Chain A
Amino acid sequence: MRINPRALLTLIGLGALLVVALWWNDTLVVHGFGDWLTNAGRITGLLAGYCIVVQLLLMARIPAIERGVGADRLARWHSFGGRYTISLVVAHTLLIIWGYAVTAHTNVVSQTGTLLTAYPDVMMATVALGLFLMIAAISARAARQRLSYETWYHLHFYTYLAVALAFSHQFATGADFATNLQARVLWGGLYAVVGAALLWFRFIVPLRQRVRHRMVVDNVVQEAPGVVSIVMRGQHLDELQPEPGQFFRWRFLTRSGWWQSHPYSLSAPPHPRLLRITVKDLGDHSGELQHIHKGTRVFAEGPYGAFTAHRRRRRKVLLLAGGIGITPLRTLLETLPGEPGDLTLVYRVNHADEIVFRHELDLLADQRGARVLYLIGPPGSDADPFLGSRLAAHVPGLRSYDVFLCGPPGFTAAATTALRAAKVPAGHIHSEQFAF
């Protein structure tokens, strides 16, 4: 089952309308400036509570959402949602303090004191606010570049604590919940269901898969300088039903790497006992994977990803790979249904020694009657297919192609621009960014 992005967004929007309806239903009139502020504070508070649960939902790794929306798009939504949620949380806090102060004819400082000391659970919610602000600060683009992934990753876990701390004041002081059992049940149910999904799909499923499939590193093969293929061996892997183009989140149980999982696409069609990924050393955890030992135990969470044959709309397909973005496309080249002449692979790299799978690709091209084009040279050079109308010259009839696109963010952006300029409809450009 797949939930498509538009359906999911509609569902989220309807939920937000219901939340506003709850306020609407509970409010007789808004009277005076203080009441305006307080009610604006109530609405922003309700929406913030709702956005938090949506944020958790997007990150719960629910298969129908992962397969339908795609992990890269989910991650973009989550980061947009994060900024929006933080804004709501801050607005809620300030509006409530100000509104209460205006109606009670006190100043905001003493009202803040009253709120903190005399209102149930507001102190906890304030700690949550502090945590949210800390997480927002470390997730901001500027800070992300200065922090190591590890630090960011660990600090991000505090969101769970913040969500828990912020929850109780919603019922204890929230006007819409304090007197409305039905609303409390629905709201609590929403949090409980999302929390259970999170626990199930992020923790219990990977554990069960580990027990069932017992995956270990079977072999490590050098493909190019700084690029290795890692082959995992396991039992009953066909039960996972991975589709070509999908990825797993891999957790290698080494001393330094056990706590983190990273997404890597399958770089070969799935086999009942073997799965292969291909990893380029990007100077982070991927560097350690270059020297992973055979026999290392592996947790695999997945399969995930919407970059599969189900997105295809046309008979003719162009696979457009930038650098290590070749990995899912290599699998699609082998498995996408098609007659000779239907499939074209354009594979751009900066230097000739970066090409991986050359032998496999040539073999597949031969077997399938596919055309494979290697373009070697940095962006802006003669080999750059996205300058002018070069892409259309390389691929005659480009307009009637479906395009599967995978590469670094700059590559994806340039390719999308070039494809749109060549009049390829946006609905026929399918991309997945692996930098997320």
Chain B
Amino acid sequence: MRRTLIALVTTVTGLIFLLSFKSQGAGPTNRPAALAPTTPGPTSTAAPNASASPSRPSSAPQTATGAVIQTKYGPVQVRVTMTGNRLTDVEAIQLPTGDRRDIQISNYSVPQLRAEALAAQSAHINVISGATYTSDGYAQSLQSALDQLNA
């Protein structure tokens, strides 16, 4: 019985050590590393939406579709709407839906990510806990969409 207890205490200590090591990287939740100004690689599907003409005055809304970012759990892609210089909407058009957990994660993380993006008016958004990969892909796709409109 004593040996079992020792083993369990060791395991718990090891777990805490491992997890705290992994969470150090999360400290400041802004993740500029993920936000390379231009995402090389899977930008093939990115195409500025032709529904708006850049020559029109700034009041008309413009939309752009971001690159498809392949995360470990599946693709993430967003479409943004800009009205004038303001980011007025972000819509997720592709999300990981491989299993029930992916859907659950998307359901709670995407509204938060959208709210963050609208508040920040940029792709400099926080990682949502428990949805690291989705957040990462979301920010990257968002950045690539914004790049198209700003170009």
Interface of A toward B, CB cutoff 8 Å: 20, 23-24, 26-36, 38-40, 43-44, 47, 80, 83-84, 87-88, 99-100, 102-105, 114, 118-120, 172-173, 175, 178-179
- In the complex, which residue of chain A has the Cβ closest to the Cβ of B4? A83
Chain B residues positioned under 8 Å from A44 (CB to CB)? 11, 15
- In the complex, which residue of chain A has the Cβ closest to the Cβ of B126? A31
Does B41 sit within 8 A of A, measured CB to CB?
Answer: no
Q: Are B4 and A28 in contact (CB under 8 A)?
A: no
With both chains docked as a complex, state the minimum distance between the C-beta of B75 and any C-beta of chain A, in angstroms.
13
* Chain B residues numbered 96-110 whose CB sits less than 8 Å from any CB in chain A: 98-101, 104-105, 107-108
Q: Are B100 and A118 in contact (CB under 8 A)?
A: yes
Does B120 sit within 8 A of A, measured CB to CB?
Answer: no
- In the complex, which residue of chain A has the Cβ closest to the Cβ of B1? A83
Assembled-state Cα–Cα distance A29/B34 (Å): 13
Count A/B pairs, Cβ under 8 Å: 91
Assembled-state Cα–Cα distance A24/B133 (Å): 15
Q: Are A39 and B22 in contact (CB under 8 A)?
A: yes
Known interface pairs A28-B132, A31-B127, A118-B100. Does A36 touch B3 (Cβ–Cβ under 8 Å)? no
With both chains docked as a complex, state the minimum distance between the C-beta of A115 and any C-beta of chain B, in angstroms.
9
Q: Are B73 and A35 in contact (CB under 8 A)?
A: no
Chain B residues positioned under 8 Å from A35 (CB to CB)? 23, 129-130, 132
Does B57 sit within 8 A of A, measured CB to CB?
Answer: no
Q: Are A29 and B99 in contact (CB under 8 A)?
A: no
Add 7 more A-B contacts to A43-B15, A44-B15 (CB < 8 A). Answer: A29-B22, A29-B127, A31-B132, A40-B15, A104-B107, A173-B101, A178-B98
Assembled-state Cα–Cα distance A31/B112 (Å): 15
Chain B residues positioned under 8 Å from A178 (CB to CB)? 73, 98-99
| A31, A173, A179: the one within 8 Å of B129 (CB) | A31
Interface of B toward A, CB cutoff 8 Å: 1, 3-4, 7-8, 11, 15, 18-19, 22-23, 25-26, 29, 72-73, 98-101, 104-105, 107-108, 127, 129-133, 136
Chain B residues positioned under 8 Å from A40 (CB to CB)? 15, 19
Chain B residues positioned under 8 Å from A120 (CB to CB)? 99-100
Write 29 A-B pairs (CB below 8 A) sorted by A numbering. A26-B72, A28-B25, A28-B132, A28-B133, A29-B22, A29-B23, A29-B26, A30-B22, A30-B26, A31-B23, A31-B29, A31-B127, A31-B129, A31-B132, A35-B130, A40-B15, A40-B19, A43-B15, A43-B18, A44-B11, A47-B11, A100-B104, A103-B105, A103-B130, A105-B108, A114-B100, A118-B100, A119-B100, A173-B101
- In the complex, which residue of chain A has the Cβ closest to the Cβ of B103? A118
- In the complex, which residue of chain B has the Cβ closest to the Cβ of A79? B4
Q: Are B108 and A20 in contact (CB under 8 A)?
A: no
Q: Which of A34, A80, A103, A119 gathers the greatest number of chain B CB atoms within 10 Å? A: A103
Q: Are A36 and B19 in contact (CB under 8 A)?
A: yes
With both chains docked as a complex, state the minimum distance between the C-beta of B54 and any C-beta of chain A, in angstroms.
37
Chain A residues positioned under 8 Å from B25 (CB to CB)? 28-29
Known interface pairs A83-B4, A84-B4, A87-B8. Does A30 touch B23 (Cβ–Cβ under 8 Å)? yes
- In the complex, which residue of chain A has the Cβ closest to the Cβ of B133? A28
With both chains docked as a complex, state the minimum distance between the C-beta of B24 and any C-beta of chain A, in angstroms.
8
Assembled-state Cα–Cα distance A32/B100 (Å): 21
